[in-house]
Structure 1
Amino acid sequence: MKHSQAGFTLVEIAIVLVIIGLLLGGALKGQELIHSAKAKAVAAEFRNTATMIAAYQDRFRAMPGDDRAATTHLGGSANGNGNGTIDGAWNSTALSNPDGSPAESTYVWQHLRLANLAPGSAASPSAGDWEPRNAEGGRIGIQSATPFTGMRGRVFVCQDNISGRIAQQVDTTMDDGKPDEGAVRFGSALGSAASTVDDNQSYIICTGL
């Protein structure tokens, strides 16, 4: 007896391929939506931080972190030197400088929280880590020193652990889309901004206020 062995018809194969295509398309679209949401969140953090700083200045006529009368205004915090700049590195967790003075870039977030302008606890942590985290799990910090060559501003907000793809989206949304030009710049380290973008590399992205 002969047994016939049936295979898939062209129609059945076509249907399978269509289903596979739809599944892949859905997965890619979902991934794109996730990246877009993260980019919007990072951009929102920049805008929110700028609003917080402006609100603090408007209320106390001083910069958060640099406020020389913070103990009077807020209670339970350290005073800054009142020189009009936020001294220290944006990602510092030190509570004091080598000379013993308070590290202003660290106390920025405590001042903002005690003023009820930023969410989160203002209680003093053991390592001074008041900095909030962004959508990528990186730090959000503030400093007055210019982070990337050629940037302009009195105060700069920086975020790290941002993938190249998201950093590019943020720069395109907020500025000119060029990592080494404009008001928004990013690079693998502070100093010279990147000239090309690697989607799989993590960057520090900053904007001037």
Structure 2
Amino acid sequence: MTFLHSAARRRGFTLVEIAIVLVIIGLLLGGVLKGQGLIDSAKVKNIIQQSNSLTAAVNAYQDKFRALPGDDPLATTHVPGATGNGNGDGQISEYYLAPQHLALGGFITGSYNGSTDFMTSAQGGAVYLYNDVVGGRGGNGIRFDNLPDTFAEQIDSKLDDGKPNTGSVRANTAGGAYTSSGAIVPRTAIFF
């Protein structure tokens, strides 16, 4: 009789036990994926906030000094410590000077040397105040480099029309559309 009892105790898992384990694993995976979505959403909100703050900083600089940061021909006078002046043509082609002018003027935080430093986004890519052509539109704006296409699409949808080649938010996407495939968008610009 002892042989029968010990054999009965060594049986495998029942179907119900396996089903319960699979449900628990599914719930855990669902929670992880939902958590990643929340993290991504927070990064997009942070990038939009950064864009809004930079636009406000550029407008405040322009109101105070009657010139664009980076392009300011009197920047070394306006913001002591600036390493260079712009050419005053109304186009921010001096993109390394722009964050330095804003920081030294007290419009943004950070320290920029005016020649190699650049701002970064919540995603970690470079951020420039720049006169550039992105998605078929040219002009001064804020350019975010190397965003996932889902981030670029969310930013475009929240600030504009959700299309990468129309409106004030433009993106250099493959085929002129957002794919939600995880591809990296090399340039996303918010023109002002």
Residue by residue, what CA displacement relative to the aligned partner does 1:166-188 show, whole Å, maximum 9, x if unpaired?
A: 11111111112222222112125
Shift of 1:198: 4.7
Q: Does 1:111 align with 2:101?
A: yes
> Which residue of 2 is the match for residue 11 of structure 1?
16
How is 1:156-175 mapped onto 2 (pairs within 5 angstroms)? 156-175=141-160
* Paired residues for 1:145-164 under 5 Å: 145-149=132-136, 151=137, 154-164=139-149
More relative contact order, 1 or 2 (CA 8 Å, 6+ apart): 1
Within 2, Cα distance between the matches of 1:200 and 1:141?
A: 23
SS at 2:133's partner residue?
coil
Alignment of 1:136-147 (within 5 A): 136-147=123-134
| Residue equivalent to 1:200 | 182
Structure 1 residue runs of 4+, over 6 Å off?
none
More helix by share: 2
1:46 CA displacement: 1.4
State the distance in 1 between where 2:66 and 2:33 align: 49
Partners of 2:133 and 2:86 in 1: how far apart? 20
Instruction: Tell me how far 1:111 sits from its aligned partner.
Output: 0.5
Cα distance change on mapping 1:79 and 1:22 into 2, 3 Å: same
Letter in 2 for 1:48: S
Q: Is the 8 A contact 1:147 1:156 kept in 2?
A: no
**Which structure is larger by alpha-carbon Rg, 1 or 2?**
2
| Structure 1 gap ranges (5+) | 88-103
Aligned CA-pair RMSD: 2.0
TM-score normalised to structure 2 length:
0.86
| Structure having the larger proportion of residues in strand | 2
Asked whether the equivalents of residues 185 and 206 of structure 1 are also in contact (C-alpha less than 8 Å), the reply is yes
TM-score computed with the length of structure 1 as normaliser: 0.80
CA shift for structure 1 position 18:
2.1
Larger mean CA deviation between 131-140 and 73-82 belongs to: 73-82
SS at match of 2:161: coil
- Which structure 2 segments of 5+ residues have no match? none
Identity %: 41
Aligned to 1:182: 167
Residues 112-150 of structure 1 deviation map (CA, whole Å, 9 limit, x = unaligned): 01101111114x37xx2221111121111022243331x
Aligned equivalents of 1:184 and 1:81: distance in 2? 26
Q: Deviations over 1:24-71 (max 9, x none)?
A: 111111111111111111212211111110010111111111111111
- Correspondence 1:41 to 2:46: yes
